[in-house]
Amino acid sequence: MTTPPQPPQQPPVQPPYGGPVPPQPLNPADEKLWSTLVHVGGIFFGFLPALIGYLVMKDRGPFVRSHTSTALNFQLTLLIAEVVGWLTSWLIIGFFIVLAVYIVRIVFSIIAAVKANQGQWYKYPLSITFLS
């Protein structure tokens, strides 16, 4: 039994003058996967998955950059609202603010993850734009 011929190996991209290697673009399926994971991770870990995803994946494709920056903006907005809720928790209204933040985080992160998984662009409502 003979093995099929292998395609020729491409040499790795070498940057000029020994500089850093530019990031390789992701294929569309990987962009959708990472975008979905960033939104789902926000439910459990707050802004950290969006921050890490933005820092690591922002140069890998326009779709994943848009979703990671949108998720980071939304999670930071919710973090501000949550801090305000905890600071006003000595008033009764603070507990309602914190509860509303948790519900909004779950609902809109699921909606965004579904849109990202379908390959659609998504913008969270009522989100402060820190990054574009």
Q: Tell me the average confidence (pLDDT) per consecutive run of 10 residues in the chain, 132 residues long.
A: 63 65 86 96 96 94 95 97 95 95 97 96 92 84
Handedness of CA 41, 43, 46, 50 (dihedral sign): positive
**Domain contains 46:** yes
**Domain contains 130:** no
Tell me what pLDDT residue 56 has: 94
**Domain contains 14:** no
Number of domains making up the chain: 1
8 is written with which tokens? Answer: 């020729």
Tell me what pLDDT residue 15 has: 60
**Domain contains 13:** no
**Domain contains 22:** no
**Domain contains 11:** no
Contact 110, 52 (CB under 8 A): no
Boundaries of domain holding 69: 27-117
**Domain contains 61:** yes
**Domain contains 40:** yes
